[in-house]
Amino acid sequence: MLLEPVLPYVAGEARVKFATEAWEVEDAMALRRQVFCREQKVFAGHDRDETDARAITLVALAPIFGVADQVVGTVRIHEDAPGHWAGSRLAVEPAWRRLGALGTALIRLAVSSATARGCNRFTAHVQAQNATLFHRLHWATLAEETCHGLPHHFMEADLAHYPPFAEGPRGFTVLIRRER
């Protein structure tokens, strides 16, 4: 008898929203530290910078026993000039990356929320290995650059594909389908 490998438990849905509670921000920062400092070794110690003081933190929350209380993804958005918004520090918990839905949902919420706040241009420096995902989501590469010693694409979202969404603090639910 052949046994199937045990896969990590992943809930059937997650909620993406603005971080509105202190614990959500703290856990988002911990996830960023895990991804950018420990896993990727892009930064030593922490990845916080002056942008954090003016950024809006978005989170993906996984439910535990029906209560959304585990941060499994995050990104921040910030207005860099009037009407020009940017996203940065997109991070997803490793066990949730294979599912693909959370990064996409965080990107959708980021751009659509900025659009609702008057965004007429949305850009991001995207690690090269993630550029294909962004291309599928109607982003264009404007330039290839090196940031923090890693290859990145400087990209811009096609705002025609991101209708305004003014309910960022409430967010929306993402259904998760595990592929076998």
DSSP code per residue over 145-164: EEETTEEEEEEEE-GGGS--
pLDDT tens digits, 56-86: 999 999 877 666 679 999 999 999 999 999 9
pLDDT tens digits, 100-138: 789 999 999 999 999 999 999 999 999 999 999 999 999
Top-confidence residue, 9 or 62: 62
Domain boundaries, the chain: 13-175
Q: What is the CATH number of domain 13-175?
A: 3.40.630.30
Q: Considering the entire predicted model, what is its pTM? A: 0.89
pLDDT tens digits, 145-177: 999 889 999 999 999 999 999 999 999 999 876
Phi-psi region of 171 (alpha: psi -120 to 50; beta: other; left: phi over 0): left
Q: Which two tokens stand for residue 87?
A: 């996203």
